[in-house]
Amino acid sequence: DEHGKTSASPQKSDVNSNVFTLSTMDTVYYSPTSIEVTVEGRYEPQIIWFIGGQAYSSQNNPHLTPTISSAWSGSKKTFNLAFDMSGFEISMSPFTVRGTVSFGDATDSTFDTVTTNIYKREFVESLPASTTFRNADIPKEFLCSALGEVKELLTLSWKIGDVLVDDEVEHVTLTDESDSSSTTTKISKLTITTNKPTFDAQFKCIATWSGLNGKSIESTSDVNAVGVAVDEYTFSTGSSGDGVISCVVWGDSPPHSVTWSNERGDAITNQPDETEIADSITEGITYTHTLTVKKMTFGDQGKYTCSVVFVENETPVNVVTTLNKLSASFEPATPYFVHEKTVQFSCVYNGLDDPQKIEWFRSSTDDAENLISNSDAKYTITTGNFNEASRTKTSVITVENVEVTDSGDYTCKWTTENFNPKSTMVVSVRLLTTPSTTVYSTDGSIKITCNYEGTTSGTMEWYYNSQKLEDAADDAITINPGSLQSNAQQYTLTITDVTPPENAGSYSCVLSFTDGDSLRASTEVVVRKSSSVDRAGTAESTIVVTGDELSARCLMEGDKVPSGVTWTKGGDNIVFDGSTKIENTNTKQLESSVKFFSNITIKSFDFADEDSYICSFIFGDGNNVQSTIEVVSAKITNNECEFVDIRTETSKTLTCAYHGSSAATAVSFTLPDDSVVAGVLAEFSAGGDASTAGSQTGSYAVSSVSEASSGSYKCTFTLTGGKTVEFIQRLTARKAVIESSAGLNANLIVQSSITLTCTVASGARSLDWYKGAVKLIEEQDYERIKVSESDDLVSKITFDIADDSAGSYTCRAVQYDDFCPTEETFDSEPVAVSIIAAAPITNPASATAYGGASHVFECVFPNPFGADYNEITWSFKSAGDSVARPMIGNGDVYNDQNERVIDGTKASDSSVANEISTTLTIGSVNSDAAGEYICSIKWGTISIKSAAATLTVREISSPPETTNVAKGGEAKFTCKTSGDSAALITFHKTISDESVGTVVVTEATSGDIVTTTGILTIAGVTAAEHGIEYYCKAAWGENGVESGNVFLSVLDITSSTETVWGLAGNVAEFKCYSDALLKANANGDPYLVNKQKTYADAQISWEFFDTSDTSWKSTASNSRFVVKTTMRSDDGVSLSPMSLNNLEEGDNDLKVRCNIAYQTDAANNFYGGTVTSGELTMKIGSITSFTSSKSDPLVGETITLTCTATGETAPTFSFTTRGKNNFDTTFFKLVKAATVTSVDSVHTAEYTTETLRVNTMINGQVFNCLADYGSAQKTEKELTVTTYFNCADVTWK
C-alpha cells in the first residue's frame, strides 16, 4: 500500500458482530492512489463512497473515474477505492474521500471512515526521454516543473550521471524560474554553458516533498553530447621547437572526418619536416586528433581551424585556436605616441616556461650602457606573475615628467632557460596644449591659440563641438598654422561676428601626423554680446522718437546674468528716479544661453534730449560688454481724416508735415493695399535755434478715387542714415448708388409698384430716403425690405404707384466713425417716376368648350410704345388654385407631376395702330382646361392685366374601360361626364353604332360641376360575345362627345382531358385548362398594370358523378381523388390537374368535371363567375380475353393463342410459359410470332405454336399473356393447354 495503512481500534455495531479497519492517513499526494477499508464480522457489510462531499456517481463526479472493488478474505471483507491520477488535469483542485459502512437489515448503525484529502503530485513539465546537443546548441537549456499541495514542501534538484549538480559543477548553471503567484508549482532550469564530454550521461530532475508524507519522484533524459574543442591558445615548445595542437572530438561514434586549415583557409596535409597529422587516439567517447607544426617560426603563428564532419554530407563544425611562437611583444604595439607627462607601456612574454628575469634598455640594443635602472626616479618597472592559463607574463615600465627629448627606442628582454626573447618599442613624445581652459569674447570676435611641442610638424584641423571648421575666402573664419621652431609651433583660429547661440561652446584643435598619430586640445569659449534692440528683438543702432517719450532696450546675450547695468548719455550716468526716468530688467533662459534685457523709459522727451546713449553690462569676472544707441527726435503732423464723395469728386491730395533737426531725404506713402509709392517732398525749413525743430512737407495725389481707395495711408519720411518716421491718415471715399426696379426714369402705371435699393460700399452710419426735398417716412411712405447681411450699408424699399407718386427720389447717407467723428453727408443720383393709365381695350370672353375640341381666347391692349419691346403673357387659374399661374412656353400648363394638362398656343398682332392683340388657342380641351384665363402685357416695368375669362368644359371625364368577365358572368361598362349640366349617356357597338342595352344614369353636383354616370350591364355573357367593342356617347342638347372603343374579353375553360386511360392498381390524371390572363384588346394583348401582366384569381374544384344516386359530388369526399396545385404558363393559361389513385376495374366509365370559380377584381375591371367543364371519362385498360384455338391438342398439332386487351393505344404483347421469363421450347416450338391488330380501343395479339411432346405429367402447360402499356403499367392473363399422344400413332407389340 503506497500511503501506508494502520489499524484503528475496533468499532462495534449495535449487534456487536462486526469491526472495521481503515486507513488513518489524512492526505494522499501521488498517483496511483488507493484507499482501503476492511470490515470483518458475521454480517455482510456495504459501503457508500463520498467524493468531494457527495455520494459517488458518474453524474456527480463526471471528471473522476476511480476503480471501486471489494473482496472477501475469510470473515473479512475489503473495500478498495483506487484513482489513477495521471489522467487528471494539471490544475486539479484538492478533493476529499470518505466511506460510510452499513450492515443491511442487521442494524441501522453506520460508521464513517476517516476523511482523506487528495492532492496531485507530479511533473507538470518532464524532461525529454532522450536528446542530443552539439556545440551550436550551447547554451543548452533543460526545464523541469512539478506541482504538489504546497510548493514550500517541494524541492527540485538535478543529477548528471551520478554527480549532484551544485555550484561546484563547472559549465552548468541552475536558475529558479518559478512563478511567485503560484502556491503549488516549482520550475527549475538547468543550462549547459559549454559542451563537454562529461555531459554525455543521464540527466535527472528530482522532485522531493518533505514532511510526514515525504517522497521523491524523478524525470530522466538520456543525453547524447556531441562536440569538438581545442585550446584557445597554444604555444611552441621553445625558440626553435614544434607547435602542437590537439583537437578533441566526442560523441557516441567516431566522426566521419577531421581536417585542418590555416587562417588563410588553406588545407593542411602531412608535409615532411613541416606539418604532421597524427592518427586519432580513442578513449571512451573521446577521439583526439593532433596537428604538429615542425620547428615553428614567427611566420607560422596565427589561427588554425579544426573542421569536424560527424555524419557524412553534414555541414562541418569548426573550432579555432591561436598558435603562438615563444616571444616578447609590446602593448601597445610600436610605434607608441606619448601625449601626456606620464607614460606607461608593457612588455608581454608568450611561452611555455616562466621566464627567469626581465631587463629594459633605453636603445634598440641590449648593450649594458643602455640598461634602465629601476632605481632611477624617472622610471618605475613592475613585473607580474606568470599566467599558467594563457602562458604569458607582463612587465610594465612607467616614465615620469615626460619631455620631447624622451622620444626614441625602448627594448625589453626576457631570459628563459633555452631562449631570451626581446622586443623594441619606438616612442614619440608629442604635446598639444591651450593657454587657458576658457576664452571670453566681448567684442564680437573669437581668437584661440593651440601650442604644440614635438620633433615633427603635423596637419592641424579645428572643430567647433563636432563640426569641422574651414577657412574659406571672405568668410568670418581665419586659420593661421604658424611654423615649427625649436620643437615648438603655435596654431591660431580667429572668428568674427560671433553670437552666443552660434559660437559659444567647445573648440578643439586636432593635430594629425603621417604616422597615424594625432593629438587634441580643447578650450571652452564664452561669448557675451551687447546690442540695442526694438521691442521685437530686432537690432537697432538708432531710435527715432516721434512723441514725448523715449523707450530704449539693450540686450545682452551670453553665459549668465550680469551683476549690474549702467546707462550714460553724452558720457554722464543717467540717474533713474522711477517716475520720469525708469529702468527695469528681465531675463530669458534659452537652451544654450541667457538673454538679459535692460529697458529704459524717459518721459517728457523733447527735441533737446537727442544724444548718444550707452548701456554697459557688468560681470564679476571683468569681461563686461556695452552698446551705443543714437537717439533722434522726429514728429509728423497732418489732417488725420480726409473724406471724398466720389459721385462728385474724382481725386484727392494727401499732405503730411515732418518736424526734426535735419532735412528728410525722401517721403513715401504706403497705400491701403500695402504697396508703396513715392510722394512729393518740399524744401526743409530749419528751426529758429538749436533747441527748435525744423519742418518739411510731403504730399501724394490719389487719382480716380473709388471705394477701393478708402483706407489707411501711411506717410513715411526717410531721415539721414536711413531711419524713418511715419504717420497714418485715413481716407474715406464713399458713394451712394441707387438702383430702381423700373430704371432711373420710371414710367409706371397706377397700382404697380417700384423697388429702390441704395448701397454705400464699405458701410456708412445711416441712410434716409427723400422725394424731392421731403424726407420719406417708413411704414407711411414706403415699406422696407430686409436684405442679407453685408459689409456694405444697404437700404431697400418698395412702394405702390398712386396718382400722386410722380417725382424725384434720392437716398442720403451720413458717414462718421470713432476715428473720424465729423459727419459727412452725400446723396445718390435721383430716380424720376412718371405715371401712365393702363387698361385692356378688349378683355378675353368667357365660353363653353367640349372635350377633345379646341377653343380660342382673344385680348386687345393699347400700344403706346409702338414697336418697342413688349412681353405678352397668359395665366391660368383652375378651380383648385388660389392664384393664377403663368402659362409657360407657348401657352402650356403642367401639373405637380410635371405632366402637361393644357396644350396652349399663343399668337400676337400689332398691325393695328396703337393697338396690339393676342390670342390663346387651347387644343384638345379637357376638364383640366376649365378655369379662368387672364392676359397681360408688359413694357419693361409697365404692365396691363385683363379681366378673367371663364372657360366651361363639357367632357367625358371617365370613359369606359376594357372589361374582362368570366363566361356566364355579368359585365359592366361605366361612362362618366362632367360639365355645367347633366349629359344624356348612351352605349353603342363599334361595329354597327347601334345603341345597346339599358343605361342606368346617376347625377352628382359639386360646386358648379355636374357629374353624370351611366352604367351598361351585360348579363349572362357567352363565349360568342368575346371580342365585341363598345363606346359611349354623351350629349348636351345638339352637341356632344364620344369615348374611345373598349373591348369585352370573356375568360373560359379552354380544354380538358375528355378521356383518361389507366390500369387497375395504378394512378390516372385528369387535366383542366382555363384562361387566367386578362386581355386588353381583340389581338389578345395582355391587360397591363404598371407595365406588368394582370391575372385573374380563381378557385379550382373537382366533382365526380355518383351513379348510385345520379348526382355530382365533390372529390373531397373520396380520398382516392387528389387535387394538385394549379400551374400557370407564360401565355396565361392555367393547368389544374387531379389524380385518381388505386384504380379499380369498377372505375371504368367514371365521370368527373372541373369548376373554375373566377374571383371579381373590380380594380382591374374583371367580373367573376364560375365556369364548369364538360364530362371527363375514366377508361380502365385490361386483357378482356386469352384463348387457345384448341385446349387439348395432340403432339404435332399447331395451335393459335389469341390475347385481347383494351386501351387508348395498343400495348406491347408478350407470351411466356409458366415459371419462365421466356417461351419454354420443351413442349412447344414457335411457328409464327405474335401479330397485333387494333379496332378503336380494342387490340388483339395472335401467337402460333406447335406441340412437341406430351405434358400431361405436368398437368398441362400454363401460358401467360402480358400487355405492357408503358410507364410500368402492365396486366396479364393465363391459360392451360394439355398435350396428348396421338393414339393412332401407337404400335402395339
Contacts for 542 with CB less than 8 Å, ≥ 6 apart = 629, 630, 631, 632, 721, 723
Q: Torsions phi, psi of 717, nearest 5?
A: -100, 130
> What's the length of the chain?
1293
Long-range own/partner contacts, residues 1110-1113 (CB < 8 A, 24 or more apart): 1112/1153
The single-letter DSSP state of residue 804 is T
pLDDT band at 1138 (very low <50, low <70, confident <90, very high): very high
pLDDT band at 21 (very low <50, low <70, confident <90, very high): very low
CA distance 550 to 601: 6
Residue 26: per-residue pLDDT: 36
CA distance 945 to 971: 53
Residue 1293: per-residue pLDDT: 52
Instruction: Determine contact, residues 987/975, Cβ cutoff 8 Å.
Output: yes
What is the percent of the chain with per-residue pLDDT over 70, rounded to a whole number? 93
- 3-state secondary structure (DSSP) of residue 105: helix
Looking only at the bridges linking them, the beta strands covering 931-939 and 942-945 are antiparallel
Which of 127-131, 210-214, 292-296, 363-367 has the least mean pLDDT?
Answer: 210-214
Residue 238: per-residue pLDDT: 53
Which of 30-44, 338-352, 1101-1115 has the least mean pLDDT?
Answer: 30-44
Q: Taking Cα atoms as reference points, which of 405, 437, 439, 431 lies closest to residue 489?
A: 431
Residue 864: per-residue pLDDT: 66
Other C-beta atoms closer than 10 Å to the C-beta of 615 total 26
Cell 405492357 -> residue:
1268
Which of 233-237, 340-344, 523-527 has the least mean pLDDT?
Answer: 233-237
Q: Which residue has the higher pLDDT, 81 or 363?
A: 363
CA distance 1213 to 1264: 10
String of b and e for 657-686 (b: at least 16 CB within 10 Å)? Answer: bbbbbebbeebbbbbeeeeeeebebbeeee
Instruction: Determine contact, residues 517/573, Cβ cutoff 8 Å.
Output: no
Q: Taking Cα atoms as reference points, which of 348, 353, 333 lies closest to residue 235?
A: 353
Instruction: Determine contact, residues 618/563, Cβ cutoff 8 Å.
Output: yes
Residue 960: per-residue pLDDT: 94
Residue 1020 has pLDDT above 50, yes or no: yes
Residue 837: per-residue pLDDT: 64
The single-letter DSSP state of residue 562 is -
Q: What is the mean pLDDT of residues 1080-1106?
A: 90
**Amino acid residing at 776:** L
Residue 938 has pLDDT above 90, yes or no: no
Residue 693: per-residue pLDDT: 86
Looking only at the bridges linking them, the beta strands covering 116-125 and 95-102 are antiparallel
CA distance 895 to 1104: 60
Q: Which three cell numbers stand for residue 450?
A: 593651440
Long-range own/partner contacts, residues 739-745 (CB < 8 A, 24 or more apart): 740/831, 741/941, 742/833, 742/940, 742/941, 743/831, 743/940, 743/941, 744/829, 744/830, 744/831, 744/832, 745/831, 745/832, 745/834
Residue 13: per-residue pLDDT: 27
CA distance 352 to 348: 13
pLDDT band at 617 (very low <50, low <70, confident <90, very high): very high
What is the percent of the chain with per-residue pLDDT over 90, rounded to a whole number? 46
Cis peptide before 32 (omega within 30 of 0): yes
Residue 64: per-residue pLDDT: 67
Residue 332: per-residue pLDDT: 80
CA distance 163 to 144: 18
Residue 560: per-residue pLDDT: 92
Q: Which residue has the higher pLDDT, 1218 or 633?
A: 633
Q: Taking Cα atoms as reference points, which of 141, 120, 128, 88 lies closest to residue 185?
A: 120
Long-range own/partner contacts, residues 179-182 (CB < 8 A, 24 or more apart): 182/151
Distances (CA, A) of 289 to 101, 195, 1287: 76, 18, 122
Q: What is the mean pLDDT of residues 279-289?
A: 91
Q: What is the mean pLDDT of residues 414-435?
A: 84
Helices (H), 776-901: none
Give the DSSP H/E element, type plus range, for residue 501.
Answer: helix 500-503
Q: Torsions phi, psi of 198, nearest 5?
A: -65, -15
Residue 948 has pLDDT above 50, yes or no: yes
Other C-beta atoms closer than 10 Å to the C-beta of 8 total 13
Q: Torsions phi, psi of 943, nearest 5?
A: -140, 155
Mean pLDDT across the chain:
86
**Amino acid residing at 430:** R
pLDDT band at 1244 (very low <50, low <70, confident <90, very high): very high
pLDDT band at 844 (very low <50, low <70, confident <90, very high): very high
- Note the pTM of the prediction, 2 decimals: 0.38
Q: Taking Cα atoms as reference points, which of 219, 199, 198, 223 lies closest to residue 208?
A: 219
Residue 326: per-residue pLDDT: 72
pLDDT band at 1055 (very low <50, low <70, confident <90, very high): very high
CA distance 1165 to 1158: 13
Q: Taking Cα atoms as reference points, which of 688, 729, 726, 734 lies closest to residue 709?
A: 734
Q: What is the mean pLDDT of residues 624-629?
A: 91
Residue 16: per-residue pLDDT: 32
Q: Taking Cα atoms as reference points, which of 195, 182, 228, 223 lies closest to residue 90?
A: 182
Distances (CA, A) of 891 to 857, 885, 1052: 12, 11, 51
Residue 615: per-residue pLDDT: 93
Residue 623: per-residue pLDDT: 92
Residue 1243 has pLDDT above 50, yes or no: yes
String of b and e for 1075-1110 (b: at least 16 CB within 10 Å)? Answer: bbbbbbeeeeebbeeeeebbbbebebbbbbbeeeee
Residue 9 has pLDDT above 50, yes or no: no
- Tens-digit pLDDT profile for residues 1189-1212: 998 999 889 999 999 999 989 999
Distances (CA, A) of 1132 to 1061, 1095, 1165: 28, 7, 17
Q: What is the mean pLDDT of residues 172-194?
A: 92
Residue 85: per-residue pLDDT: 58
Q: Which three cell numbers stand for residue 1068?
A: 390516372
Residue 1136 has pLDDT above 90, yes or no: yes
Residue 1057 has pLDDT above 80, yes or no: yes
pLDDT band at 34 (very low <50, low <70, confident <90, very high): low
Residue 25 has pLDDT above 50, yes or no: no
Residue 11: per-residue pLDDT: 31
CA distance 1255 to 1197: 14
pLDDT band at 7 (very low <50, low <70, confident <90, very high): very low
Q: Which residue has the higher pLDDT, 1272 or 816?
A: 816
Q: Which residue has the higher pLDDT, 232 or 679?
A: 679
- Tens-digit pLDDT profile for residues 58-88: 676 666 667 777 777 767 778 777 766 555 6
